[in-house]
């Protein structure tokens, strides 16, 4: 095991060429070889080559990372429609190349004003089965992604807004080749996709799932993008597109939801305070509530700070005991305390308080897996009693990392929640999210309210963890991933891979996953992670070997050079010049 990990690192370093620019096929070759793409001026890493190329066109024409992100997201919504798009939400972390400041924007979906905390309960008050809640209009929140695109462009863009959609409009009008991943996800979900006719018409034409390599056009999406390009996103939140969204979400065919024209017209993105944690002399900055991403990654790292992970190395069962139990402790706090801070007081400072973390970290001092893991009592000056959450967050979602020629960096995780979201395709050519199922289906436990319960206008708690790591105020790492609540483990592992184990951008992405959220240790199937199964079992863990489908897209900056890594588990690339 030890030899294999070391061999992996040494071989990768030996074959790493220095390159000034890359083509898409070179980028794919780098990824398969386990070597990062290198560049001096800019770098984009995202989930689909066509989307990355659209962003590259914008940067080559003098655009910023914010401009490029709009182009990348517009293409992702077409070629990877199951993961993110105009019908979903996103969180964005921005590093300003001039001022060195970090800004975070919340484009999370909101619950309709007509919901009650019993939204996902049956008549007896029992929680609905997950997919009974997901499929159809009940799970649809007000989309935030369009407003986030415009807000990012207004703050940090240089290119004309109307120019940012050109590639996506051409691809939607002329067609693109369905990728192998999209085809296999359609085949695997065909029964749910068939439940709503416009969705079936698009993904299952004549009842047959689209195949890899099929040419797919989406003229409705091209028209929507053209409208947004010409008139701005107000045309999304009011008028014909908004009416289409509401009609689709309330369609009597589909478990009708409660979204209204008013919910769309009052939607606003929010600037939130960044959550920054110090780790090994770096500042790890991410997204605060309503995402649990920044706080939970920050807690995991804070709990691990006293331990010498570098000396233990990535091949050590004891390193993974520490990481696994730090994660369990952080997830216990997440379940109790983290939710939309506009609705419930969240002890953000207390959860990252150094004395509190030191007290919790001392629990890791033993040599065996922790038996019981309970939430702690962070310093919290609001006297409220919360019950523990239960909410699902299954792997879908997408992540975009960009550093532009002006030194700005952007980390954005973007989602429609489950793969294909609510399975509702609008007439405007995009899928609607099922983000409301990120709320707790239960509102109370033993009479005590759950922080992440459904409430009107509230944003469901997320696990998305777009992250930017700084060294002495300069960007050192841009990272993020899809993966439901495992996002937190994927991102924490990547940071540890780079900062503690000295892995490069591609090595840290490729490093096999070992993720522990609630006690069971998930080990990535088909990788050397499964070789730790016996040692972790001996330490007292329940172990499960399974596919762990991250989509890490990262950029490391070292000595003025950008190194891009893209996840071999999905179809994306890193591209730079
Ligand atoms: N829906 C995935 C997340 O927000 O974490």
pLDDT in tens, 513-523: 999 999 999 99
Distance (Å, whole) CA 132 – CA 136: 8
Q: How far is the CA of 229 from the centre of ligand 1 (A)?
A: 27
Tokens of 352: 């990252």
Q: Return d(Cα 418, Cα 185) in angstroms, integer.
A: 11
What's the pTM value of the predicted model, to 2 decimals?
A: 0.95
- Residues 83-101, mean pLDDT to the nearest whole number: 98
pLDDT in tens, 124-168: 999 999 999 999 999 999 999 999 999 999 999 999 999 999 999
83 lines ligand 1 (CB under 6 A): no
Handedness of CA 508, 42, 55, 164 (dihedral sign): positive
Strand 43-46 with 398-403, pairing: antiparallel
- 393 C-beta closer than 6 A to ligand 1: yes
Of 295, 463, 489, the one to substitute when testing ligand 1's pocket (max ligand atoms within 8 A of C-beta) is 463
Task: Tell me the CA distances in angstroms from 46 to 162, 197, 538, one per residue in order.
Answer: 22, 31, 38
Atom of ligand 1 nearest to the CA of 435: 1
Q: How far apart are CA 564 and CA 491, in angstroms?
A: 15
Which pLDDT does position 12 carry in this prediction? 43
Flag whether pLDDT at 553 surpasses 50.
yes
167 lines ligand 1 (CB under 6 A): no
**E-strand spans in 9-72?**
37-39, 43-46
Q: Is the CB of 416 within 6 Å of ligand 1?
A: no
The residue-averaged pLDDT of 247-266 equals 95
The whole-number pLDDT of residue 253 equals 85
What percentage of the chain reaches a pLDDT higher than 70?
95
Q: Burial level of 20, CB count in 10 A (0-12/13-18/19+)?
A: exposed
Rounded-to-integer distance, Cα 279 and Cα 327, Å: 15
Ligand 1 touching residue 484 (CB < 6 A): yes
Query: Which pLDDT band, with edges at 50, 70 and 90, does 290 fall under?
Result: very high
d(CA 391, CA 400) in angstroms, rounded, equals: 25
Contact 502, 548 (CB under 8 A): no
DSSP label at residue 128: P
Q: Whose CA is nearest to atom 1 of ligand 1?
A: 417
C-alpha of residue 20 to centroid of ligand 1, in Å:
36
Pocket test for ligand 1, best of 84, 148, 435 (most atoms within 8 A of CB): 435
Report whether residue 465 contacts ligand 1, using a CB cutoff of 6 Å.
Answer: no
CA distances from 559 to 281, 477, 480 (A): 17, 12, 22
Residue 382's pLDDT is 66
> Ligand 1 centre and the CA of 365: distance in Å?
32
Chain segment 263-285, per-residue pLDDT in tens: 999 999 999 999 999 999 999 99
Is the Cβ atom of 577 under 6 angstroms away from ligand 1? no
The set of residues, in sequence order, having a beta carbon less than 8 Å from that of 349 and lying 6+ positions away, is: 379
Supply the residues annotated as catalytic. Answer: 397
Distance, in Å, from the CA atom of 185 to the CA atom of 470, rounded to the nearest integer, reads 37
- Whether 10 shows a pLDDT value over 60: the answer reads no
């Amino acid at each position: 095991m030890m030899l294999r990990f070391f061999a992996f690192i040494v071989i990768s370093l030996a074959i790493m060429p220095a390159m000034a620019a890359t083509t898409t096929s070179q980028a794919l070759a780098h990824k398969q070889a386990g070597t990062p793409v290198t560049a001096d001026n800019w770098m984009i890493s995202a989930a689909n080559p066509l989307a990355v190329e659209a962003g590259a066109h914008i940067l080559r024409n003098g655009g910023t990372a914010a401009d490029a992100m709009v182009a990348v997201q517009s293409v992702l919504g077409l070629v990877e429609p199951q993961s993110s798009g105009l019908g979903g939400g996103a969180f964005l972390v921005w590093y300003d190349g001039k001022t060195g400041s970090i800004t975070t924007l919340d484009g999370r979906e909101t619950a309709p004003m007509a919901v009650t905390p019993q939204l996902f309960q049956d008549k007896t008050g029992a929680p609905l089965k997950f997919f009974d809640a997901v499929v159809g209009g009940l799970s649809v929140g007000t989309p935030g992604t369009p407003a986030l695109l415009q807000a990012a462009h207004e703050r940090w863009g240089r290119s004309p807004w109307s120019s940012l959609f050109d590639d996506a409009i051409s691809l939607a009008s002329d067609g693109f080749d369905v990728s192998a991943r999209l085809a296999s996800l359609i085949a695997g979900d065909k029964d749910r996709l068939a439940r709503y006719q416009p969705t079936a018409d698009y993904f299952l034409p004549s009842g047959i799932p689209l195949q890899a390599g099929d040419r797919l056009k989406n003229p409705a999406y091209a028209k929507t993008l053209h409208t947004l390009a010409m008139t701005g996103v107000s045309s999304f939140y009011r008028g014909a597109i908004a009416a289409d969204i509401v009609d689709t979400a309330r369609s009597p065919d589909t478990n009708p939801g409660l979204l209204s024209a008013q919910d769309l017209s009052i939607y606003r993105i929010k600037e939130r305070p960044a959550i920054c944690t110090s780790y090994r002399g770096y500042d790890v900055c991410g997204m605060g509530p309503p995402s649990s991403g920044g706080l939970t990654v920050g807690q995991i790292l804070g709990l691990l700070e006293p331990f010498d992970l570098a000396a233990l190395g990535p091949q050590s069962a004891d390193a993974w005991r520490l990481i696994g139990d730090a994660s369990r402790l952080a997830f216990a706090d997440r379940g109790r305390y983290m939710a939309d801070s506009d609705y419930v007081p969240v002890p953000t400072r207390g959860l990252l308080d150094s004395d509190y973390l030191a007290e919790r970290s001392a629990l890791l001092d033993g040599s065996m897996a922790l038996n019981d893991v309970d939430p702690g009592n962070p310093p919290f000056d609001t006297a409220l009693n919360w019950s523990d959450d239960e909410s699902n967050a299954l792997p879908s979602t997408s992540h975009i990392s960009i550093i532009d020629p002006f030194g700005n960096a952007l980390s954005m995780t973007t989602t429609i929640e489950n793969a294909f979201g609510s399975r509702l395709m609008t007439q405007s050519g995009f899928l609607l999210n099922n983000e409301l199922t990120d709320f707790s289906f239960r509102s109370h436990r033993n009479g005590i309210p759950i922080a992440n319960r459904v409430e009107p206008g509230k944003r469901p708690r997320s696990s998305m963890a777009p992250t930017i790591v700084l060294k002495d105020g300069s960007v050192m790492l841009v990272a993020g991933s899809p993966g439901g609540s495992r996002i937190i483990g994927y991102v924490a592992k990547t940071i540890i891979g780079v900062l503690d184990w000295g892995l490069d951008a591609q090595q840290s992405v490729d490093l096999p996953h070992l993720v522990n959220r609630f006690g069971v240790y998930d080990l990535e199937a088909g990788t050397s992670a499964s070789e730790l199964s016996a040692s972790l079992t001996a330490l007292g863990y329940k172990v499960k070997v399974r596919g762990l489908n991250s989509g890490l897209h990262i950029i490391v900056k070292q000595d003025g050079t950008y190194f891009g890594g893209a996840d071999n588990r999905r179809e994306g690339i890193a591209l730079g010049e």
